[in-house]
Amino acid sequence: MQGGAIAQFIPLILIFAIMYFLLIRPQQKKLKQHQEMVKALRRGDQVVTQGGLIGKVAKVKDDNEIEVELSQGVTVRVVRSTIAQVINKTEPAQAKG
Protein backbone atom coordinates (compact mmCIF):
# COMPACT_ATOMS: atom_id res chain seq x y z
CA MET A 1 0.00 0.00 0.00
CA GLN A 2 2.79 2.39 0.78
CA GLY A 3 4.22 2.08 -2.72
CA GLY A 4 0.86 3.00 -4.24
CA ALA A 5 0.57 6.16 -2.13
CA ILE A 6 4.04 7.33 -3.13
CA ALA A 7 3.33 6.57 -6.79
CA GLN A 8 0.33 8.89 -6.66
CA PHE A 9 2.50 11.81 -5.51
CA ILE A 10 5.22 11.37 -8.13
CA PRO A 11 3.25 13.21 -10.89
CA LEU A 12 2.59 16.13 -8.51
CA ILE A 13 6.28 16.34 -7.62
CA LEU A 14 7.22 16.28 -11.31
CA ILE A 15 4.71 19.03 -12.13
CA PHE A 16 6.10 21.21 -9.33
CA ALA A 17 9.68 20.62 -10.53
CA ILE A 18 8.74 21.55 -14.11
CA MET A 19 6.90 24.69 -12.93
CA TYR A 20 9.93 25.70 -10.86
CA PHE A 21 12.42 25.38 -13.72
CA LEU A 22 10.16 26.89 -16.40
CA LEU A 23 8.44 29.72 -14.48
CA ILE A 24 9.72 30.50 -11.00
CA ARG A 25 13.48 30.29 -11.54
CA PRO A 26 13.61 32.47 -14.70
CA GLN A 27 11.36 35.07 -13.04
CA GLN A 28 13.66 35.26 -10.00
CA LYS A 29 16.67 35.62 -12.31
CA LYS A 30 14.98 38.43 -14.25
CA LEU A 31 14.06 40.22 -11.01
CA LYS A 32 17.65 40.01 -9.78
CA GLN A 33 18.96 41.44 -13.08
CA HIS A 34 16.45 44.31 -12.85
CA GLN A 35 17.50 45.10 -9.27
CA GLU A 36 21.17 45.17 -10.32
CA MET A 37 20.37 47.44 -13.29
CA VAL A 38 18.42 49.86 -11.08
CA LYS A 39 21.13 49.83 -8.41
CA ALA A 40 23.77 50.76 -11.02
CA LEU A 41 21.88 53.85 -12.32
CA ARG A 42 23.84 57.08 -12.32
CA ARG A 43 23.70 60.61 -13.67
CA GLY A 44 23.65 60.79 -17.47
CA ASP A 45 22.10 57.37 -18.13
CA GLN A 46 19.24 57.46 -20.63
CA VAL A 47 16.31 55.44 -19.27
CA VAL A 48 12.76 54.33 -20.10
CA THR A 49 10.21 54.24 -17.29
CA GLN A 50 7.45 51.65 -17.05
CA GLY A 51 5.05 54.42 -18.09
CA GLY A 52 6.94 54.77 -21.37
CA LEU A 53 8.69 58.08 -20.64
CA ILE A 54 12.22 58.41 -22.01
CA GLY A 55 14.63 60.70 -20.26
CA LYS A 56 18.09 61.21 -18.85
CA VAL A 57 18.98 60.69 -15.19
CA ALA A 58 19.67 64.19 -13.85
CA LYS A 59 20.25 63.33 -10.20
CA VAL A 60 20.37 60.23 -8.03
CA LYS A 61 18.60 61.41 -4.87
CA ASP A 62 18.69 58.41 -2.54
CA ASP A 63 18.27 54.64 -2.51
CA ASN A 64 14.68 54.79 -3.72
CA GLU A 65 14.37 57.90 -5.91
CA ILE A 66 16.00 59.59 -8.91
CA GLU A 67 15.32 62.72 -10.94
CA VAL A 68 14.84 62.20 -14.67
CA GLU A 69 15.09 65.05 -17.17
CA LEU A 70 12.44 64.52 -19.84
CA SER A 71 13.34 67.61 -21.86
CA GLN A 72 15.44 70.67 -21.23
CA GLY A 73 14.27 72.20 -17.95
CA VAL A 74 11.63 69.52 -17.25
CA THR A 75 12.61 67.09 -14.51
CA VAL A 76 10.45 64.59 -12.67
CA ARG A 77 11.02 62.53 -9.56
CA VAL A 78 10.84 58.81 -10.30
CA VAL A 79 10.91 55.79 -8.01
CA ARG A 80 13.93 53.69 -9.01
CA SER A 81 12.00 50.43 -9.30
CA THR A 82 9.81 51.92 -12.07
CA ILE A 83 12.77 52.15 -14.46
CA ALA A 84 12.08 49.53 -17.12
CA GLN A 85 15.19 49.83 -19.28
CA VAL A 86 18.51 51.66 -19.57
CA ILE A 87 19.05 52.74 -23.18
CA ASN A 88 22.49 54.37 -22.94
CA LYS A 89 24.89 53.89 -20.06
CA THR A 90 27.38 56.64 -19.30
CA GLU A 91 30.95 55.59 -18.80
CA PRO A 92 32.46 56.27 -15.40
CA ALA A 93 34.78 59.28 -15.30
CA GLN A 94 38.43 58.32 -15.55
CA ALA A 95 40.65 59.33 -12.66
CA LYS A 96 43.04 62.10 -13.68
CA GLY A 97 46.62 61.57 -12.84
pLDDT at 95 over 60: no
How far apart are alpha carbons 95 and 92 in whole angstroms?
Answer: 9
Give the mean model confidence (pLDDT) for residues 41-62. 91
Strand residue runs (E) in the chain: 46-49, 54-60, 65-71, 74-79, 83-88
pLDDT band at 1 (very low <50, low <70, confident <90, very high): low
Domain positions in the chain: 1-39, 42-97
This prediction has a pTM of 0.68
CATH of domain 42-97: 2.30.30
Q: Do residues 13 and 32 lie in contact, with contact meaning Cβ atoms separated by under 8 Å?
A: no
* pLDDT number for residue 96: 54
Give the mean model confidence (pLDDT) for residues 11-39. 91
pLDDT at 14 over 70: yes
Average pLDDT for the chain: 87
* pLDDT number for residue 8: 87
* pLDDT number for residue 97: 47
How many other C-beta atoms can be found within 10 angstroms of the C-beta atom of residue 45?
Answer: 20
